[in-house]
Structure 1
Amino acid sequence: MSTPERLIESTRELLWERGYVGTSPRAIQQRAGVGQGSMYHHFAGKPDLALAAVRRTAEELRATAEVLLAGPGTSLERISAYLLRERDVLRGCPIGRLAQDPDVMADPALRRPVEETFDWLRGRIAGVLAEGRERGELSPGLDAATTASAVVAVLQGGYVLARAAGDSAPFRQAVEGVLALLAAHATDRP
């Protein structure tokens, strides 16, 4: 892994673990195994490096979601595949954690990729739901946009509940609950 890659990956991990304030340039350098000169050779400073890390995290979340949401199956099967995928639930969602970090949210540049990722995810799920409605898989009265927002909110809330309990069970219950609500809108047609 190149020096810039090690710096970005180290920053991503530290942001997820400690938040923006707790992610010092020294901690980044130590985790990446590079000196101060190497860090500042590749990045203007902590804000520049943090932005690269946040963007990378956002890109990876989108890519992972897209594989499952664009996969085979009905709209409900694809959304189920996304919601039920393997996750480190107790660590939380890396993008969701960034959205809870006041320092990230106070910086428009750092906030933008977080906001864009949630907008994209809601839009992508809404598209899958609308497709299912058009195919006759879901009831015609299902509002794709509001339902997609609810799905994302349940997912993020599930992470919070699981972290608060120190147990992944509340996350699984939240996901199972939203999937049951979606299944209630399924029609008899495949």
Structure 2
Amino acid sequence: MYSWRMSTSDRLIESTRELLWERGYVGTSPKAILERAGAGQGSMYHHFKGKPDLALAAIRRSAQELRATAEGVLGGPGTPYERIEAYLLRERDVLRGCPIGRLTMDPEVIADDALRAPVEETLDWIRTRLAGIVEEGKEQEQFASSLDSDEIAATVLATVQGGYVLARASGSPAVFDAGVRGLLALLSQEVDPAVQEGWTPCSTSCP
């Protein structure tokens, strides 16, 4: 399943990441981790102090990956609106949900300060990054000055995370796409018409 070039510790981290995403903390047993990683008994305790230590390494890696993916879009070219649009429309496995967002519904993770920290920090980082882009748009007179950057950022993040929940509940990504289209329609009303000249909003069929 994993490349032979991967170290045992990396295989353990990757298998734990996947299992946390699929089953949550309680459902991620040491036995399941070792089986998926193709590692022998005792490997976990050779490289990590135990399941909590391994879970923390896995959550941190998922958080780093999510940040890098988000920054690749939010830090890309285009107007502030286009960068937010690109973030909302980026390719996602909607029915699988967010590997970080789903952990907020895991009581064991939320109850543990160490495990919760990278989850909270990552979501705060995305919200702060989005708020900065909205503020940038206001400074460039592309967005209405009356917009509250923090509120818009929170709305964007809530649309994405809430969209995952609704999509999983319905068994279809359609409701996620509808939420994104609705938010973009509202946000586009706050864009200076002069800024919109020369570009056409992307549909949710974009990658």
- Report the TM-score, using the length of structure 1 for normalisation: 0.98
Which residue number corresponds to residue 176 of structure 1? Answer: 181
Rounded to whole Å, the distance in 2 between the matches of 1:187 and 1:142 is 13
| 8 A Cα contact 1:105 1:111, kept in partner | yes
- State the 1:103 CA deviation: 0.6
Say whether the 8 Å CA contact 1:92–1:160 is kept in structure 2: yes
The whole-number CA distance in structure 2 between the counterparts of 1:83 and 1:97 is: 18
Tell me the residue number matched to 2:190: 185
Whether 2:98 is the aligned partner of 1:93: answer yes
Q: Kindly provide the amino acid, as one letter, of the partner of residue 78 in structure 2.
A: G
Q: State the partner residue of 1:139.
A: 144
Which whole-Å CA distance do the structure 1 matches of 2:167 and 2:126 have between them? Answer: 21
2: distance between equivalents of 1:35 and 1:181?
Answer: 54
Distance 2:41 2:183 in 1: 47
Within 5 A, what are the aligned runs for 1:77-156? Answer: 77-156=82-161
Q: Check the 8 A contact 1:21/1:103 in 2, yes or no.
A: yes
Paired AA for residue 171 in structure 1 = F
Deviations 1:161-181 (A, max 9, x none): 100000000000011111111
Of 64, 71, 78, the match for 2:76: 71
Identity %: 67
1:136·1:189 contact (CA, 8 Å) conserved in 2? Answer: no
Task: Provide the C-alpha distance between the structure 2 equivalents of 1:132 and 1:62, rounded to a whole number of angstroms.
Answer: 21
Q: Secondary structure at the match of 1:142?
A: coil
Matched letter for residue 98 of structure 1 = L
Number of equivalenced pairs: 190
Report whether the alignment pairs 1:22 with 2:38. no
Moved over 6 A (4+): none
Q: What is the root-mean-square deviation in Å for CA atoms of aligned residues?
A: 0.7
Greater mean alpha carbon deviation, residues 164-173 or residues 37-46 = 37-46
Task: Identify the match of residue 166 of structure 1 among 171, 174, 189.
Answer: 171
Look up the equivalent residue of 1:166 and give its one-letter code: G
Task: List gaps (5 residues or longer) in structure 2.
Answer: 1-5, 196-207
Q: Which runs of 5+ in 1 are unaligned?
A: none
Counterpart AA for 1:102 = P
TM superposition shift of 1:188: 2.3
In structure 2, C-alpha distance between the alignment counterparts of 1:27 and 1:121, rounded to whole Å? 31
Instruction: Give distance in 2, aligned partners of 1:124 and 1:18.
Output: 30
Of 48, 53, 63, which aligns to 2:53? 48
Write the distance in 2 (CA, Å) between the matches of 1:79 and 1:187: 15
| Whole-angstrom CA distance in 2 between matches of 1:100 and 1:181 | 29
In 1, the alpha carbon distance for the partners of 2:115 and 2:85 equals 30
